[in-house]
């Protein structure tokens, strides 16, 4: 079993990351989906097995633009989402993930937590980690070839 915390759009609000340090420390993997990937680098310096994805606001990219992650028997496509027009449609992202053989697609960019299933692909957005608006992260557990998830809301 692999426990994963997925974050996005922290935009330099490291205090918010520090507030959930206990949660981050107890998980097997952390995925930061960009905006700001420098926050992802900050996490990577503190927690092993951190995956950093670049977003559209990342002037000094610290990770990959997208990445496929194998978590036990589940293949996960991770990106920020801006290159797939996620503010207007999730169809392109679902098509890309499906084409890569992924059961899950993780994305950010919209600052809104969301869960959708399109053509058998589960699309998950953890929301945003900034102090502006509703803060949240995604808790994803993979066990063999099955997965479950929950959006965790934080106090603003």
Domain containing residue 88: CATH number: 3.60.21.10
> How many other CB atoms sit within 10 Å of the CB of residue 45?
9
Domain that holds residue 12: 2-154
The pLDDT-based confidence of 73 (bands split at 50, 70, 90) is: very high
Residue 113 pLDDT greater than 80, yes or no = yes
Residue 156 pLDDT greater than 70, yes or no = no
Mean pLDDT taken over the chain: 95
Please give the tally of structural domains in the chain. Answer: 1
Query: pTM of this prediction?
Result: 0.97
Across the beta sheet with 50-52, the strand order is 50-52, 29-32, 2-7, 135-143, 146-154
Could you read off the pLDDT of 3-51 as tens digits, one per residue? 999 999 999 999 999 999 999 999 999 999 999 988 999 999 999 999 9
Distance, CA of 9 to CA of 39 (rounded, Å): 9
């Amino acid at each position: 079993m692999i426990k994963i915390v997925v974050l996005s759009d922290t935009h330099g609000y490291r205090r918010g990351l520090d507030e959930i340090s206990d949660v981050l420390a107890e998980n097997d993997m952390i995925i930061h989906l960009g905006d700001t990937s420098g926050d992802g680098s900050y996490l990577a310096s503190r927690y092993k097995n951190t995956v950093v994805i670049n977003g559209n606001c990342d002037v000094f990219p610290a990770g990959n633009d997208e990445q496929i992650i194998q978590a036990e028997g589940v293949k996960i496509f991770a990106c920020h989402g801006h290159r797939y027009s996620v503010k207007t449609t999730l169809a392109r992202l679902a098509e890309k993930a499906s084409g890569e053989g992924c059961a899950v697609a993780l994305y950010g960019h919209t600052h809104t937590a969301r869960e959708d299933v399109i053509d058998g692909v589960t699309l998950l957005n953890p929301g945003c980690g900034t102090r502006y608006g509703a803060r949240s992260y995604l808790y994803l557990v993979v066990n063999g070839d099955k997965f479950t998830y929950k959006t965790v809301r934080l106090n603003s």
